[in-house]
Amino acid sequence: MEQKIPAHIAIIMDGNGRWAKKRGLPRTAGHKKGAETIRKIAIACNQKGVQALSVYAFSTENWKRPEEEVDYLCKLPRFFFNRYMEELKQNNIRVRFLGEIERFPIDTQNVILSAVEQTSENTGLILCLAVNYGGRREITLAARAYAQDVLNQKADLAIEEEAFGKYMMTADMPDVDLMIRTSGELRLSNFMLWQNAYSEFLFTDVAWPDFDVVQLNKAIDEYTARDRRFGGLK
Ligand code: FPP
């Protein structure tokens, strides 16, 4: 069957810690390998014509992890972009982010902002990093901004779904079509609550560091076979 390509794929990249532990490595080694997987999957998605790939790299709850692990995760964007920026550019990939990056060390913020800026003219895949991101927080911030615009008479008090959606961090991106979570957990964990309203969920036991193009193709094959009705009949 010819693959139906999702416009937007969102991934909860779970299992880095368990992957590392199984190999007698520190959890951080799993995160590093996980960052390499992002590169592989982004390039493959771009080649397939996916419009956007959103990856959950750091949740608003991840601050509760040990300091050493948080520090490492904060350093990963520098490692990632130092190593892969040229390749991302060659592939016409555009980097964006979701989340409140102000809470990160200034160096991490600058690395992310610079990646966004350097790729802003690109027209291929949008690679969207969710960092210090939480779905409820996103909706709360959108409500706050909307309320402010009502006060300023820039928005209608009779709030409409489409108008409100424009206050989300993904404003000009398509809704998520396919949501993948790796490593056997069956939860949404506060990831893109608004955007996942009608997405197809796919769970795999494969840990994120082991996820590859074969797994991606399997996920898209499964998505292709699903019957999406959006609440209607067919
Ligand atoms: C979940 O696995 C993974 C994370 C909390 C972090 C994911 C981050 C990356 C893959 C790298 C991000 C890179 C860039 C460039 C932003 P876990 O640690 O919860 O694994 P476990 O459930 O096995 O313990």
Provide the residue range defining the domain that includes 130.
Answer: 8-134+176-225
Within a domain: 171: no
Within a domain: 111: yes
Q: For the chain, what is the domain count?
A: 1
Burial of 96 (0-12, 13-18, 19+ CB in 10 A): buried
Burial of 108 (0-12, 13-18, 19+ CB in 10 A): buried
Within a domain: 180: yes
Within a domain: 144: no
- Tens-place pLDDT, residues 27-44: 999 999 999 999 999 999
For a mutational test of ligand 1's pocket, the pick from 12, 14, 211, i.e. the residue with the most ligand atoms closer than 8 A to its C-beta, is 14
Within a domain: 96: yes
Q: Cα separation of 207 and 21, whole Å?
A: 12
Sign of CA dihedral 99, 122, 208, 227: positive
Within a domain: 2: no
Does the active-site annotation cover 62?
yes
Average pLDDT of the residues in 207-219: 98
H or E stretch including 97?
strand 94-98
Q: Cα separation of 218 and 212, whole Å?
A: 10
Do 124 and 53 contact (CB within 8 A), yes or no?
no
CATH number of the structural domain spanning residue 88: 3.40.1180.10
Does the active-site annotation cover 46?
no
Within a domain: 26: yes
What pTM was estimated for this model as a whole? 0.96
Q: What phi and psi, each to the nearest 5 degrees, are found at residue 200?
A: -85, 135
- Tens-place pLDDT, residues 99-118: 999 999 999 999 999 999 99
Q: Cα separation of 228 and 209, whole Å?
A: 30
Within a domain: 158: no
